Chain A
Amino acid sequence: MWRYIFRRLLFLIPVLIGVSILIFAIIHLAPGDPAETLLGPSATAQDLEELREQLGLNESLTVQYFTFLINSLKGDFGRSIRTNNPVLEELLDRFEPSLLLAVCSMTLAIVVGLPLGVLAALRQNTWLDTFCNLTALLGFSIPGFWLGLMLMLLFSIMFPILPSSGYGSWEQLIMPAVVLGTNTMAVIARMTRSSMLEVVRQDYVRTAKAKGLNSRLILTRHILTNVLIPVVTVAGLNFGHMLGGVVITETVFSIPGIGRLIIDAIRFKDYPVVQGGILFFAFCLSLVNLGVDLLYALLDPRIKAQYRAS
C-alpha cells in the first residue's frame, strides 16, 4: 500500500512539469505582457523596454522557463509583479479561505445530499422520492451568483442576521458555503439515488436479506459501502474544483480566495502568480485524486487488493 502511495507521489513530478510547461506556454504566448499593464497607457517604448529587461522578459522563452523551473524546485516562486509580495506567501494566504469554504460546503453537500439520495431510493416512486428529486434538480439548476444575491437580500437586509460579505468570521462562511454546497449536494443526491437503485437489486443484497439480516445492517454494511464509490468519485472531483477557487462565489461574497487571486493575476499578466497558482492548484488536485483513490481502497477490498498487487 505504501509503495502504491509512494509511486503515485512520484508520478506527481512529471504531471507538475507537464502542467508548468503548458501554463508557461499559454500565458507567454497570449498577447500583451505585464510591462504594459504595470506601466499603464502613458509609458514610452523605452520605459517598457527597461521594465521588461528588469523582469527578465527579454530572455528567450526557454531561458525564462528553466529559470522559473529551477527556482520553483527550490520553493521560490518569485514575487508578484502586481503587489511585489512573495508568490508563495500570497498563494497560502489566499488558499486558506478557499480551503475552509471547500471543506464547509463539501460537508454540507454530503450531510444533506447523501441522506436525500438514500431516502429517495428507499422510497422510490413515492412523493418523498419526487420531493428529493425536485430538490436536487433545483439545487443543480440554480445559478450560484443568483442564489448568493438572494440569500444576501434575505439574511442580510430583510432579516439581518448574517453579514453579507467578506471573510474572517464563521458567520461570513455560512451563505457562501450554502451557495457553493447546493450544486454539489444536488449532484451527490442524484448520484446516491441512482447508485442505490442499482445496488439494491444486486444478488448480495438479496442474499443478505435471505440470511435474515436486519435492514439497517444491510443498508450500512452492504448497500452504502458499495453506493459510496461513485459518490466519492463525484465528491472528490467537486472538492478538487472547489480548492482551485470558485471565482463566482468568491466574487459575489467578496472572499479573498485563490480563484479570484488567479483571475486577477491573469488579467494583470502577473506571470509569477499565474504560474505559481496553477502549479499549486494542479498539486492540490493531484493530492485530492490520490485521496479519492485511497478512499476506494478503504471502501472496496477488491481495489485494495489491486493496489497491493501492483
Chain B
Amino acid sequence: MDMERRGVTIFLLSLALMGVLLFPGPGRAAEKVLRIAQQADCNGFDPQKITDVYTGTLLRQVYNGLVQPDENMIFQPDLAESWENPDDLTWIFKLRQGVLFHNGEEFTAEDVKYTFDRLFDPKTASPGVTHVREVDKVEIVDKYTIKITTKTPYAPLLANLGRYEFCMLNKKGVDAAGEDYNKMPVGTGPFTLESWRPGDSVVLKKFDKYFKGTPKVDKIIFRGIPEDATRVIEMESGGVDICMDFPPQDFERVKAEGKFVMYEKSALSTNYYGFNTSVKPFDDKRVRQALNYAVDVDALIDSLYFGLGVKSRGPMSDQVWGFDTSLPEDPYPYDVEKAKAMLAEAGYPNGFKTKLYASTQSLSRSTAEYFQGFFAEVGIEAEVVSLEWGAYLAETRKGADGMFTMGWSGTGDADGALTYLYDSQNIGSSNRVFWSDPKFDKMMYEGRTTLDPEKRKAIYKEAQTYFNEEVPIVLMLSRNLIAATTTKVKGFAIYPNQVYQLFNVSLDD
C-alpha cells in the first residue's frame, strides 16, 4: 500500500470513529446534567473549614447533617430520624439505619461522635465551633443512638446543627484522604465529587445508593461566575440551567422577557448599619433613634437593591423562626425633621462628626455613601472609611470609632439572629455594636434556655420590641434572594439561608 492510500484509509477511519463518538447510536440514554452558575467559587469540601454559603450549597449535595432546614427554614430529620429531650440538658438522637457513606461504610453513632470530636479539636480550627459552645458531651448510646449533653438547657441546638458545618463525616474517609480531605470528601449525600477545578467548576456525580433514593439528575456542574453580567449572559445563552444569585439589576428585564422561570424570596440574612454603642454620642439611645429616622431606607432599597428587598421591621428577617409578625410595618419612617429635633434634644443641635466604616465590597461602600448623604441632611458630617474585608473584621472587632455595616444570616432560629450580634457575652467577637444591656442579655438567656417553643416565642417577641426601642443599629433590610431557571428545571426552590438542597431538582427532556 503506498503512502497516499494509507493516508486516505486512516483519514476515512478517523472520520468513521468521530461519527461514532459524536453520534451515539440509539438506546444510549443521554446523561442528565444540571448546570448551575453561582456567584462564588468553591472553597473545598471539608465542612468544618467552610464559612461561605456558596460552598455550603455544594456541601449540602455531598453530605447530610443530623437535621436539615427545608426551604421554609423548618428543621427536618435528616440523618437523625427523631429526637427527644429526656431532660433539659439532654438530647437523644435516633439515627437512621442502613445509610451508606460514599466509601461503602455504614453511617452509625461512631461517625457522629467522630464528627464532633474532630470539630472540637483545636487543630481543626473550625469556625463551626462557635455554634456548639454550649455542647458539653457527645456520647454513643448504641450503634444508632447518640446523646448530646449541653452545659445549660439549650433550645437553639437543633437549628445550629442544621448548619453545613455539621455535615456528618466518616473517620475512615477523612483518614484515607489525610491532608487532601478538602478535595476528597466522603459523605452520605445524594452526590459524590467527581472533579473540582478551583476557580472554575465542580462536577458532582449521583450516588446510586443514596438513602432517600436515586437523584433525578446524573450530574451537577457548578460554576462559580463572580461577574454579574457574565452570569446572566451565561444563562441567556443557554450555558446553564439554573442561575443562582441572579443580579437584581437584570431581574425586571429578564422577568419581562418571560423566557425563564424567576424565583424570589426574602433572605434569612439582615443587613444593618451598627453603632458602636460604647462610644459617644452613640451611647445615647435618642441619637440612635434619631439616626434611624434620618435614613430613607426605602430609597436605599430602590436604588441599591433595585427594589428587591424588604425594609427591616426589627433586628431579624421575617424568615427567622421567632420573628414577631405583630411588629409595626415601619418602626422608623423617614422623617428628617423628627431626626433633627431628637438630635437637638440629645444635645446635638448642630450635629457631630463621625465615621462610617464599610468594606471594600462595592455594595458596602455604596451603602456608606448613601448614609453619608442622609446624615448630612441632619447636620452630621460623616467620613466614609473603606477597609479590606480582613482589616474590616479586625477593626470592627476592636470597636469601630463610629458606625459599620454588616450582614448576618445566623441559623434560622431567633437565638442565631440575636444572641451572636447583641448579647454582651459576644462583645469582642460577633457583637460588634458593643451593646451591653442586662435586660436584653437576660431575655437572650431565657430564650435559649427555655425548651418550650411557645414560651420561647413570647420571650423573643418581647426582645424584638425592646430591641426596636433601644435600637443599637440603623435598621436596614433583608434583601430578596433571586434565581432563574430554564423551563426544563423542576423542583427548584430558594432556600432563605442560601444553602440549597438540589436532591429534588429534575430536568425535563
Contacts and interface: CB of A to CB of B under 8 A. Distances in A.
B50 to A, nearest CB: 10
Q: Chain B's interface: helix, strand, loop or mixed, by majority? A: mixed
Which interface residue of A164, A251, A256, A269 has the most chain B CB atoms within 10 A?
A164
Contact of B233 (A33, A85, A165): A165
A34 interface: yes
B43 A267 contact: no
A54 B125 contact: yes
B59 to A, nearest CB: 14
A269 B236 CA distance: 35
A267 B360 CA distance: 10
A79 interface: yes
A163 B239 contact: yes
Contact of A261 (B199, B238, B420, B429): B199
B393 A41 contact: yes
A254 B392 CA distance: 27
B44 interface: yes
A50 B182 CA distance: 21
Nearest to B238: A160
A232 to B, nearest CB: 32
Contacts of B429: 41-45, 47
A36 B393 contact: yes
A50 B125 CA distance: 8
Interface residues of B, number: 53
A112 to B, nearest CB: 25
A96 B239 CA distance: 23
Interface stretch (A150-158, A180-188, A216-224, A276-284): A150-158
B394 A84 contact: no
A90 B426 CA distance: 37
Contact of A251 (B198, B226, B389, B393): B226
Contacts of B224: 254
A38 B127 contact: yes
Which interface residue of B233, B406, B408, B428 has the most chain A CB atoms within 10 A?
B233
Contact of A164 (B123, B129, B233): B233
B227 A94 contact: no
Contact of A252 (B43, B122, B129, B227): B227
A152 B200 CA distance: 18
A58 to B, nearest CB: 14
A156 B198 contact: no
The 9 tightest CB contacts between A and B, nearest first, are: A32-B390, A256-B199, A32-B391, A256-B200, A31-B391, A156-B237, A42-B430, A36-B393, A44-B429
Interface of A: 30-34, 36-45, 47, 50-51, 54, 79, 82-85, 90, 93-94, 149, 152-153, 156-157, 160, 163-168, 251-257, 260-261, 264, 267-269
